[in-house]
Homo-oligomer: A and B are copies of this chain.
Amino acid sequence: MLDQIDLELKLSKSDYRQRLDDLQARLYDMEQALLEMKAPVALIFEGWAGTSKVRTISILTQRLDPRGVRVHPITAPRTYETQYPWLYRFWLKIPSYGQIAIFDRSWYRQALAERTHGHGDIRLWRDRCEDMAAFERQLAADGTVLLKFWLHIAEQEQQRRFKRLLADPLTAWQVTEDDQWQHRHYAKVYAAVEDMIARTDTAAAPWQIIPATDKYYARIAVFERILHALETRLGRPAVAPSAETRSVGPDLSGAIFRHATAASTLATPLPTSPPALQPLAERGMLQRVDLSLRIADDEYARRMKLLQTQIYLLGLEVYKQQRPVVIVFEGWDAAGKGGAIQRLTTKLDPRAYTVHAIAAPEGDDKKHHYLYRFWRRLPPRGAFAIFDRSWYGRVLVERVEGFAQPDVWQRAYAEINEFERQLVEFGTIICKFWMHLSPEEQLRRFEQRQNVPYKAWKLTDEDWRNREKWPLYEDAANEMLLRTSTPTAPWTVVEAEDKRFGRVKVLQTVVNRLEAELGKVKL
């Protein structure tokens, strides 16, 4: 999840000023409308130490009517608070109807601290995550708009900020011992945060991950998301006109992780609404893929041979250790899924794997819950199942083509995470690949297929139609990558502009993952 955030995003100061002004005015209007509708709002600010959460909150509240806002700074529990169930102090701070409650840290802070400090009881952690999800579900069922922000910076950036703050006696106090502890254990906390987000990212209360290297960008992004969520709730037009207006081309800038966009199209714009905002430039994972990566002929041959041998040996190990393996391929048409699968299985014992090509459901599969056709195709212990397209169709093709309603595909992220967690808890090893190329390269391959008789069968009218919806698919893929990349079932985006580079990356990733789970093999 966090590895997919573009930490390079920036905003100029003048652009920031202009947008801020507009946003503050709109947020003020929203506050009044919320009060009238008696809708409670909870804004939860979590994130790395050093991401200026307090400053962001202070600018957010600057122009709001203070009677409608309560800010709750959350520290470690006070002595009297330990006299009550752990959520007690948060129960007391929920917003009243029409009020905005802003949490500077929250229940997540406490759960994270327990997990990362001390002995870190994993079972307690799971109970905590369950408690938090139940708490948020209860609030959401009661009509509360919940927004959870994770302000994200890299380890280096945190170090840089701490250094600067500590150098000045006037700001040095801001860096607490806790903050320094966090920085020394960045990797450990990072892993816990990823797991936390995976477990508590629900349709009722989705996480918003904000790249916060540039403070201007981060602030505007936060305010935009808030405005967007509130406008959606109040039936006003949403911020982002989004992908439909964008065209295929190298200058793609897609909105990432903007869960409510599709739902907002259900709302009828009020005639009095202000014009929609120009959305903040965001780049999802796919806009940042380096498609110039290539591999030389001789290196390809050499590495492929080595990798295939390793995979053969690891296949034996999979059988010996009786672990099931699931490998998922998604990606653009003609991006080389088939070719990669072929290389992956070349030396595998044919009894050890099954390749499932997933097209539109038919027969029995069509007559059941959408996960049914994957449940029944799961590998037993000691075997591989390779999926050429998969359950992710729910949040890709079914979303884009409108086969699934917004509430259905939005619910699917949590369902899929639940499904994969159950597999992982059983011992399944999961690899997921998104095969990526540019629209230009895709066009080249389509034309080549058209002209080579024995490849022509691969190209259908549907491929051409899908191509026209490139930006919509790209948005869907970006959100999918972000919401379903979990620590135990991560996505790998494969740069497949050069087919052979892509194949090597796929095989290498599988080898790394299997070795991490099963132990290194000796050649």
**Residues in chain A within 8 A of chain B (CB atoms):** 38, 40, 80, 83-88, 91-92, 94-99, 123, 127, 130-131, 134, 138-139, 141-142, 144, 324, 364, 367-372, 375-376, 378, 380-382, 411, 415, 418, 422-423, 425-426, 428
Tell whether, in the assembled complex, residue A369 and residue B131 are in contact, meaning their CB atoms are under 8 Å apart: no
Tell me whether B368 and A87 are in contact (CB under 8 A). no
A86 neighbours in B (Cβ, 8 Å): 426
B85→A369 contact, CB < 8 A: no
Residues of B within 8 A of A144 (CB): 369
How many angstroms from the CA of A142 to the CA of B409 in the assembled complex? 12
Given contacts A376-B92, A380-B83, contact A367 B97 (CB under 8 A): yes
11 further interface pairs, Cβ-Cβ under 8 Å (given A40-B368, A88-B375, A95-B368) = A83-B324, A83-B381, A85-B425, A85-B426, A91-B375, A96-B368, A99-B367, A123-B123, A134-B422, A138-B415, A141-B415
> Do B426 and A369 touch across chains, with their CB atoms under 8 A apart?
no
Q: Check A369 against B94 for contact (C-beta < 8 Å).
A: yes
Closest 7 A/B residue pairs (Cβ)? A83-B380, A91-B375, A96-B367, A85-B426, A83-B381, A142-B369, A97-B367
Q: Which of B84, B380, B418, B428 contacts A426 (CB 8 A)?
A: B84
CA distance A63 to B38 in the complex (A): 53
Q: What is the total number of copies of this protein in its complex?
A: 2
Residues of B near A423 (CB, < 8 A) are 85
Shortest C-beta distance, A107 to chain B (Å), equals: 12
Q: Complex formed: what's the CA distance from A324 to B83 in Å?
A: 9
Q: List 6 A-B contacts (CB under 8 A).
A: A80-B380, A85-B428, A94-B369, A95-B368, A131-B422, A142-B369
Instruction: Determine whether the beta carbon of A422 is less than 8 Å from that of B85.
Output: yes
Which residue of B is nearest A90, CB measured? B375
> Which has the most chain B C-beta neighbours within 10 Å: A138, A372, A381?
A138
Query: Bound state CA distance, A376 and B90, in angstroms?
Result: 10
Shortest distance from the beta carbon of A68 to any chain B beta carbon, whole Å: 12
A439 to B38, CA, bound (A): 40
Secondary structure dominating the interface of A: loop
A139 touches B378 (CB 8 A): no
Task: Kindly report which residue of chain B lies nearest to residue A141, judged by CB atoms.
Answer: B411
A88 touches B123 (CB 8 A): no
Q: Which residue of B lies closest to A378 (CB)?
A: B84
Determine the residue in chain B with the shortest Cβ distance to A422: B85
Contacts of A376 in B (CB 8 A): 91-92
Taken together as a complex, chains A and B put the C-alpha atoms of A418 and B91 apart, in Å, by 14
Asked whether A91 lies within 8 Å of B371 as measured between CB atoms, the reply is: yes
Query: Cβ of A88: which chain B residues have Cβ within 8 Å of it?
Result: 375, 378
Contact in complex: B372, A91 (CB < 8 Å): yes
Q: Bound state CA distance, A378 and B92, in angstroms?
A: 11
Question: Which chain B positions have C-beta within 8 A of A369?
Answer: 94, 138-139, 142, 144
Contact in complex: A94, B380 (CB < 8 Å): no
Residue of B nearest to A131 (CB): B422
Chain B residue at minimal CB-CB distance from A130: B130
Task: Give the Cβ gap from A501 to chain B, nearest Cβ, in Å.
Answer: 35
Bound Cα distance A451, B84 (Å): 45
In the assembled complex, the Cα of A371 lies from the Cα of B141 at a distance in Å of: 13
* Chain B contacts for A426, CB-based, 8 A: 84-86
Question: With the chains together, A380 CA to B144 CA distance in Å?
Answer: 27
Contact in complex: B83, A371 (CB < 8 Å)? no
From B96, B364, B370, B378, A96 is in contact (CB under 8 Å) with B364
A362 nearest CB across to chain B (Å): 13
Query: Chain B's nearest CB lies how many Å from the CB of A71?
Result: 17
Note all chain B residues with C-beta closer than 8 A to A141. Answer: 411, 415
CA distance A370 to B130 in the complex (A): 21
Nearest-Cβ distance from residue A98 to partner chain B, whole angstroms: 8
A339 CA / B500 CA spacing, docked (Å): 84
Cβ contacts under 8 Å, A138 to chain B: 369, 371, 415, 418
Contact A378 B85, beta carbon cutoff 8 Å: yes
Contacts of A130 in B (CB 8 A): 130
**Residues on B with beta carbons closer than 8 Å to the beta carbon of A134:** 418, 422
